[in-house]
Structures are given as structure tokens and as C-alpha cells.
Amino acid sequence: MKAILAIVFAAGLVGVMSTPVQEVKYVYKPNQCEPSDPLIVPPGIFNLTLHPLFNLAEDSNHQGLVVAGVSGLVADVSIIIITLTLNFEITVPSIDADATTIDVSGYIDTRPFTALPVGNYTGTTTGTTTGIARVRNLRVQGSATLFVNIIGNRVSVRVLNVNVFTFDEICLNLGADFQIGGAPVDWADLCANFKGRFDAEWGNNQLKNQLVEKIRVTANVIVGRYTLDELIDLIGGGGPTTEPCLAA
């Protein structure tokens, strides 16, 4: 059996090495596509599971969710096929979000970082004069080593490196009725001190490595849905300069 798997793997490797395209690249620049900005999200139920970092329960819902600044987002992603190395850089100059009402529950777990409260969360939020979320000059840059399971050809992230994670401001204000870990959150304190606390913990390599590992496990929830061919098609699939316009 091992000999058969070795032959299959060798044949696949030869096929990859013989392909003329050694790198596929995807650059998402919605400002080139003239998307709706602000983005008006249709009201209704929404949920998201990114275990172990974050969960938005299935009974969560919103009314009047509006996100401004999406036209400035740029995601630059490439895969070097021969080494199965993925490089990425994401920049977000400015994002502002608000909603008429958000009624949500779930959990958030960014431990060992303490800049953000962790635990189960629940609450109903109404729009505020400051908005419910604000991001300024976010930049994330790094690389990942991928692994392809021979059985099923599914992709996973074996090693994740995040070299840069910087921002000028990340601020949340989900209201007085919103609780995380069974306690209300001092949103003013969080907004005023989040950057300083995050930067200090990110500068601690032990804490940073533990958080990056948790992000790697979370990334596999998304990446694991794709085969290598599907991931290449998603990223571009057409060569080193493909820049598709994906905005609706």
C-alpha cells in the first residue's frame, strides 16, 4: 500500500513540475470594481462558525446593517505551486459598521491574548452615534505552507506565519446590554486601550505563536473545504497577473 501511495504521489509531483504555471496570483481590489459603498446588508438571520476562534450562533439576526469603506479593501494572495506556499497581504484602510438592531449570541476565544474579552457572548445592540465597529489602517501579511491529502485531494494549512499584524485603531461598541463571559464590556476602555494591549502581547513571541496556531486551526475550517485545484481556481488559476473583479 505504501508503495502504491508513493507512486501516486510521485506521479502527481511530476505533473505539477511539468506545468508551465508555477505561481497563481489573486489580487482583490474592489475599488477597481466600483462596489456598493457603503455596503447595505439585507436584514435577516446570519451565522458563522470559525472554531476555535469565533462562533455566531444560528439564531443571530440583524436589521439595517451598513458597512462603509469596503471599496478600500485589498487582498493580495498567491500560491507557489511547486512548494505549496501561499503568500498573503491584506490591507484595510478604513471600515465603519453600524446597524439598527443586532441580536446575537455565540463565543469568542482569542486566548492567550487578553486585549479582547473572551467567552460566550450574548446581547441586543441598537445603533449608536459612534457605530458598532471601526477599523483604521489594518495590515496583515504572512505566508502558509499547505498540505494536500492524497485521499480526497483536500487542502490544509500545515504551517502559518504571520509576519505583520498592525492597525491604527480597532474599536467596538455593542452597547450596555451586550455581555462577554457573563459580564458587560467597558467599550470606551476597550477602544482606548485595545491597540496598546494588542501590540504588547503581539510582541511576546510565546503569546503570538499560540494565537497564530489558533488562527491556523481556524483557517483550516475554511481551506479544508477545497481541493488544490479548487483553491487554485479561487485564487486565480490563470497565471501570475490575474486580477479578477469579484464585486457584485
Q: Residue 91: inside a domain, yes or no?
A: yes
Q: Which residues have C-beta within 8 Å of that of residue 122, sequence separation ≥ 6?
A: 104, 105, 178, 179
Q: Residue 109: inside a domain, yes or no?
A: yes
Q: Residue 194: inside a domain, yes or no?
A: yes
Q: What is the CA 171 to chain-centroid distance, rounded? A: 17
Question: Which helix (H) or strand (E) covers residue 107, if one does?
Answer: strand 101-108
Q: Residue 7: inside a domain, yes or no?
A: no
* Exposure on the CB side of residue 48, measured as CA atoms within 13 A: 9
Mean pLDDT of the chain: 83
Show the domain range for 157. Answer: 21-235
Q: Residue 247: inside a domain, yes or no?
A: no
Q: Residue 80: inside a domain, yes or no?
A: yes
pLDDT of residue 13: 36
Q: Which residues of the chain have pLDDT under 70?
A: 1-35, 127-130, 236-248
> Which tens digit of pLDDT belongs to each residue from 60-109?
999 989 999 988 988 899 888 889 999 999 999 999 999 889 999 999 99
Number of domains within the chain: 1
pLDDT of residue 131: 78
Q: Residue 14: inside a domain, yes or no?
A: no
pLDDT of residue 4: 33
Q: Residue 120: inside a domain, yes or no?
A: yes
